[in-house]
Each structure stands twice: as C-alpha cells, then as structure tokens.
C-alpha cells in the first residue's frame, strides 16, 4: 500500500472512500476558508484509491505548536501516520 498526498484529480475517488461527511473534500475546503489548513492523504493499492484521510490543522496562537485534528476518520495505520 502506498500513501501519498491527494490532489485535485483524486477528488471524486477521495470522496467515495471517505467514511464520514467530515472527511469529504468539500468539508476540507470549507475549513480552509475558516482559517484551517488541510492535509489530505490517500492510500493506494494497485493504483486504486482504497482509503482517504483528511487532517485539519491550525497553528496555536502565541506558541510554536500546531494542532492536527482527524475528524471521524478511519482508524489510522502505520503508513498513514508516517505520511502525515
């Protein structure tokens, strides 16, 4: 299994693999408009998108830390965590 960042060409398949509306491409776009940043990862097996993961992030004020949030996604596995 290969995990890489998803791009616009993966959008339709990304949404098909999403396990919850909060993991949809459109929700990520909405969150970007509210000031968050989005990391979209896709797991491919034999060039077919099998799993999609969307992490939402924000920089914590007055600190050097960043918070990543993984809303209602599937249970992460080792390859996904390495890619994040």
Provide the pLDDT for residue 34.
92
Report d(CA 33, CA 2) in Å as an integer.
29
Q: How far apart are the first and last CA of the chain?
A: 15
Provide the pLDDT for residue 70.
84
CA 35, distance to chain mean position in Å, is: 16
Provide the pLDDT for residue 74.
76
Domain ranges of the chain: 2-79
**What pTM does this model have?**
0.80
Average pLDDT (43-55) is 90
């Amino acid at each position: 299994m290969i995990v890489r960042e998803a791009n616009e060409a993966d959008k339709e398949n990304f949404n098909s693999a999403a396990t919850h509306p909060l993991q949809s491409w459109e929700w990520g776009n909405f969150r970007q408009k509210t000031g968050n940043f989005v990391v979209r990862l896709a797991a491919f097996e034999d060039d077919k998108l099998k799993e999609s993961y969307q992490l939402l992030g924000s920089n914590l004020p007055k600190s050097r830390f960043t918070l990543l949030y993984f809303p209602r996604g599937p249970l992460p596995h080792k390859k996904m965590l390495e890619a994040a």
